[in-house]
Every structure is written in C-alpha cells, then in structure tokens.
Amino acid sequence: MGRGKVELKRIENKINRQVTFAKRRNGLLK
C-alpha cells in the first residue's frame, strides 16, 4: 500500500513539473 502511494506521488510530481515547465515556457514566449 505504501509503495502505491509513493508511485502516485511520483506521477503527480511528474505532471506538476510538466505543468510548471509549460507555464514557464508560455511566460517566456509572451
């Protein structure tokens, strides 16, 4: 069960990182 939670957090981190990166790129483009 703990292992599943860690995996979920890792996936969330990946998504958050992609979102922040996309936002930063949009800010640079504008």
State the SS3 of the chain. CHHHHHHHHHHHHHHHHHHHHHHHHHHHHC
Give the long-range contacts of residues 12-21, CB within 8 A, separation 24 or more: none
Determine the pLDDT at residue 30: 61
pLDDT digits (tens, 9 = 90+) for 1-30: 678 888 999 999 999 999 999 988 888 776
Q: Which of 9, 8, 28, 6 is nearest to 20 (CA)?
A: 28
| pTM (2 d.p.) | 0.55
Determine the pLDDT at residue 2: 73
Q: How far is CA 9 from the centre of its chain?
A: 10
Per the structure, the complete domain to which residue 17 belongs is given by 1-30
Q: How many domains does the chain have?
A: 1
Determine the pLDDT at residue 9: 94
